[in-house]
Structure formats: structure tokens, C-alpha cells
Structure 1
Amino acid sequence: MSSAPQWKGSTKEQCEQYVQFATRRNPVVKFMLEKLKLAGCEVKGNFIHLEECSMDAGGGFRAPDGVVMCYNHVASQEEVNLVLAHELIHAYDHCRGKDIDWTNCEHHACSEVRAANLSGDCHWWQEFRRGNMTLAAQHQSCARRRAELSVAMNPYCKGLKGKAAVDRVFKPCFEDTAPFDAIP
């Protein structure tokens, strides 16, 4: 689940336009859609659901239904691009790991580390806008922090349980850049 900063949101119709643009034009989203197809999990028309969400998040991945875009928490094309890329990485992880258990804190933590690392969530510009700038290991710190925030939203991983899961899986999951050759 990708945590939303302080988003005000859009209408369902605006969000639909943002999603359509992202799936046709955003390089990371298009790449992930192609890699899902090659992995045997082609995204069909009803895979991306636009919903009004009460949780403070831009979207989520709900296996096996697909991606949820919380239109009331995303207000721009850039936000939709990031959320969609993030959630498609979860979809890819779910596709390639047929036995992934989203109630298992380590499984969830690994996918969150990967999504934060590979989606653009931790690009220096995003971190600058959040006011999170350090000189050393900024990208890794961001991926860890964002994974901890997302895993903490899982009712099975509350409190220190989620943080401990992120700590246990961080290194191998951060280094796993599939389907990318390197961090985009």
C-alpha cells in the first residue's frame, strides 16, 4: 500500500483520465504492464479499480482483484503515475511469487521495500518535497521508512512486528530489482 502524503484528491472522472494517460504514456507504468504480461499475469480492463477510500493512501494492491486507486487521495497525473507504478510492482511480486501471503509480514515487507525502491517513491525530488533530505544513503532510508509505513497499515503487522519484518528482509529485497535491470 502506498502511503499518501497530504493529498486533497480528484474526482473519479479525473482519476480515470490520469490512469488512462499513465497506462499509455508513463514509461514505468507501461514497462510494468508489459512485464506482468510476460510473466503470465496480463492486466485486463477491470484490473485497476477507482474507489473512494477512507484510508490515508493513494492506492493499494488487493490480491487477486488488482490495483485500487483512491481517487479522493490523488490529485495529479504525477501522483497517479507514482501510485500506479508502486502498486504494479506489488502485482508483479504477487504474479511471480505464486505463494505470496499478504498476511505474512515478511512477504508484505519485501514487496513494500521493492515498491518503494523501484517505483519512484524515493526519487530525490519526492523526498525533497516531503522534507526528507540527508546526505548519506537517502534512497535506502526512504525505501526503509516508506516500507515500514506501509507494512504498519497491515492489520497482521502492527507495531514492532512490521518494523522487524522490514529489518529482516531489507537487504535482499532492496537488491532485488526485477523486472528492472537496476533501480530506474
Structure 2
Amino acid sequence: MTRPPQQPAFSQDDSPSFRASFEQWRRSLTSFAARPPLRCEPQWSDGPIMHDDKNTPNDPARDPKREAADCRRCEKWRDELARESPIVRFLLTHISLLPPSPNSPMPTPEHSPTPHLPIPITCSPCPPTMAGGFSPELGILLCQNRFMSRKHMEDALAHELVHAWDERRFTPKGKWGDDLRAHACTEIRAETLSGDCRFGREFTRRNWHFAAQHQACVRRRAILSVAANPNCASRQEAERVVNEVFESCWPDTRPFDEIY
């Protein structure tokens, strides 16, 4: 005999809005346990960020068998992280509790490569200059050929999920990426909260400091990201913008209570 699913026992003091939010959160966690068939989607390959002189989607030197194996590994790790990683589960849950941005034309669940997750997360081969990306139109990109380990992917996915949360929570001036101050702030937050700047990662990059190592890493990597924005005129402008917002964005750990 199949037992009916148990419903949470709410108290009389719980408001209808709390009950609705709890039910949405519960459904989101339940959906993370589902695993769809593995499939790699081509949408990201059409953008200019994915092209360079050495690694373009039409490069005859590319190995289809290797790419298929990379795709299977990437999607396997992605779904395992969605089920098992505390930071990834936490961020996915909090993204699911926010409505999509009204200016975001992101695919609906039925057209998403990951309908079991609150945001599309696609695996695709990338140039050597990137490990992941976020787009309000396409969701999150995981560079299947750039990850050294599942932990490396976890940090990259958490980084992009912070961007996804920020895109739903805050309203920049203009389109995503047009507002350099908003770009700098979300990069500072993503570097701070994702694990990108923990001491072990910096040690492998041969960048370490005896004091304020975390802050130095966050500032350096945020400047590099903003400088790569086509709307940024120079590295000097990137440094200026990051320095202007650093003191206000560095302490902002939302949706976490503190740095993970």
C-alpha cells in the first residue's frame, strides 16, 4: 500500500505567505533528487565569448569522443552537486524562492536543459580563458573541459549561482553587464562567497599573503573580471570601480549569514 505524502505540521501562528514559501522550498529540494538524461546543449556556442583563435566550435582539431566524455562527467558532477553539495543546494533553494527578473528572457522549465533545477545549467567546451559563465538569457555555463576536479566545479558553480541570485535580487542600471558598479559588486560577492579565494586555491595559484589574503584575492579577481567587460574602457577604470564599491559589497554575504 502506498502511503500518502506527509504534509508539514504548521502552527496556528504561521502566516499563509510562510506556508506558501515553505511549500515552494520543499518542492525545490524534492526536485533536486531527480536526474534527467544526460545531454549537452549548443546554445552557448553561438556567443562571441566562446570563440578565440585556438578553440572555436568549428575547430577541426577538436575530439568529439573526448567532448562527449567531458560532457557526461560535467553533467554527472553537476547533478551530484545539486543533490549533495551544501553550498550548491543552499544557493539553488534561495534562487528558487525568488521570482525571475522581469527583464530576464531565460528559458522556461519545459525548454531548459535542466528542468529539475530552478535555472538552466549547461555543460559546454570553452576556451582556456574561462571555467564558467552566467547569462540572464541562457542561465549558467559550466566549461566541461576546464575542471580539474569535482571540487573545482563546485567552486565555479557556486560562483555563478551567486550571480544568478544577484540578478534576481537586485536591479542594475540597464542590461546585465552595462552597469559596471553592479558588475563589480556581484563579482566581489561571488569571489567572496563561492570559495574561489580560499587559501588552498590561492596557494595553487601561487598568490598568498600573510595578512588580508582573502580580500586581496577578491579584489584582484574582481578587477580582472570587470576589466574583461566590453563596457569597461581600461584596467584602470576596472580598479577604480571595484575600489569604489568594495567596502559596501565585501561585507554583504546574502543569502548566507556569513562567509561559507
Could you tell me how far 1:48 is from its partner in structure 2? 0.4
Q: For residues 85 and 238 of structure 2, what CA distance do their matches in structure 1 show?
A: 32
- Report if aligned partners of 1:118, 1:177 keep a CA contact under 8 Å in 2: yes
- Look up the match of 2:239: 163
- Report if aligned partners of 2:172, 2:179 keep a CA contact under 8 Å in 1: no
- SS across alignment from 1:57: coil
What TM-score does the superposition give when structure 2 sets the normalisation length?
A: 0.64
- Look up the match of 1:23: 82
Identity of aligned residues (%): 39
Matched letter for residue 146 of structure 2: H
Q: For residues 72 and 177 of structure 2, what CA distance do their matches in structure 1 show?
A: 30
Q: For residues 211 and 137 of structure 2, what CA distance do their matches in structure 1 show?
A: 38
- Report if aligned partners of 1:105, 1:161 keep a CA contact under 8 Å in 2: no
- Report if aligned partners of 2:172, 2:182 keep a CA contact under 8 Å in 1: no
Matched letter for residue 79 of structure 1: H
Larger Rg: 2
Q: For residues 132 and 55 of structure 1, what CA distance do their matches in structure 2 show?
A: 20
Q: For residues 128 and 163 of structure 1, what CA distance do their matches in structure 2 show?
A: 23
Root mean square deviation, CA, Å: 2.0
Q: For residues 228 and 77 of structure 2, what CA distance do their matches in structure 1 show?
A: 26
- Report if aligned partners of 1:56, 1:73 keep a CA contact under 8 Å in 2: no
Task: Say whether residues 1:72 and 2:162 are aligned partners.
Answer: no
Aligned residues: 176
Deviates more, 1:17-26 or 1:86-95: 17-26
Could you tell me how far 1:179 is from its partner in structure 2? 0.2
Matched letter for residue 83 of structure 2: R
Q: Deviation string for 1:137-184 (max 9, x for gaps)?
A: 111111101111111221112422222111111111101100000111
By relative contact order (CA 8 Å, sep 6+), the higher-ranking structure is 1
- Report if aligned partners of 1:18, 1:76 keep a CA contact under 8 Å in 2: no
Richer in helix (by share): 1
Matched letter for residue 79 of structure 2: Q
What TM-score does the superposition give when structure 1 sets the normalisation length?
A: 0.88
Matched letter for residue 246 of structure 2: F
Task: Say whether residues 1:59 and 2:132 are aligned partners.
Answer: yes
- SS across alignment from 1:50: strand
Task: Say whether residues 1:91 and 2:150 are aligned partners.
Answer: no
Q: For residues 170 and 98 of structure 1, what CA distance do their matches in structure 2 show?
A: 18
- Look up the match of 2:248: 172
Matched letter for residue 249 of structure 2: C
How do 1:143-158 and structure 2 match up within 5 A?
143-158=218-233
- Look up the match of 1:129: 204
